[in-house]
């Protein structure tokens, strides 16, 4: 097996600097993963493809049902929401305020066509459950085989 040299095309000075910086960081850190650069999708979801429907469960702790929007366009389910939390304590000798807030959006590609008018969603104990019934044309049909 022969090792072929990589051919670099004409690049701008900025692109060359970017590449050199990437090489420097990789040389120093190796294969380490840097926590500040890791991306996590939020909220985490579970998708189950059942016989007659697709069920999506999302962890949305601290989100109220009225702050969550769900839409379906084509074969894409979009879940949007906003988390708002604030706790304030005033007692003798101290004052403490703790807040947590932020918005999120997840786009999920569905494995089959669904009936938009029959979609149901419920939020209980920080778990959002979306049930998307499949269209009649994508449901499996069972055919009985006759013997002779």
Q: 53-110 pLDDT, tens per residue?
A: 999 999 988 888 999 999 999 889 999 998 877 788 888 888 888 777 788 899 999 9
The length of the chain is: 148
CA–CA distance, 23 with 5 (Å, rounded to integer)? 17
The answer, as to whether pTM is greater than 0.75, is: no
CB 131 within 8 A of CB 98: no
Map out the domains of the chain with their CATH numbers.
Answer: 39-138 (2.60.40.790)
pLDDT confidence band for 15 (50 / 70 / 90): confident
Provide the 3-class DSSP secondary structure of residue 62.
coil
**Which residue blocks in the chain are alpha helix, DSSP H?**
13-29
Rounded to a whole number of angstroms, the CA Rg of the chain reads 25
- Determine the 3-state secondary structure of 19 from DSSP: helix
Closest CA to 80 of 97, 99, 49, 58: 58
């Amino acid at each position: 097996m022969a090792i072929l040299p990589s051919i670099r095309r004409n690049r701008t000075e900025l692109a060359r600097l970017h590449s050199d910086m990437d090489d420097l960081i990789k040389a120093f850190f190796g294969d380490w993963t840097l926590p500040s650069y890791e991306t996590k999708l939020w909220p985490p979801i579970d998708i189950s493809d059942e016989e007659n429907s697709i069920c999506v469960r999302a962890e949305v702790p601290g989100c109220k049902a009225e702050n969550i929007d769900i839409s379906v366009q084509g074969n894409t389910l979009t879940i949007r929401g906003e988390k708002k939390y604030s706790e304030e304590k005033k007692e003798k000798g101290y004052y403490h305020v703790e807040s947590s807030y932020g918005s999120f959006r997840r786009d999920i590609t569905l494995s089959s066509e669904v009936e938009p008018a029959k979609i149901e969603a419920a939020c209980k104990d920080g778990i959002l459950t979306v049930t998307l019934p499949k269209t009649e044309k994508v449901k499996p049909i069972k055919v009985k085989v006759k013997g002779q």
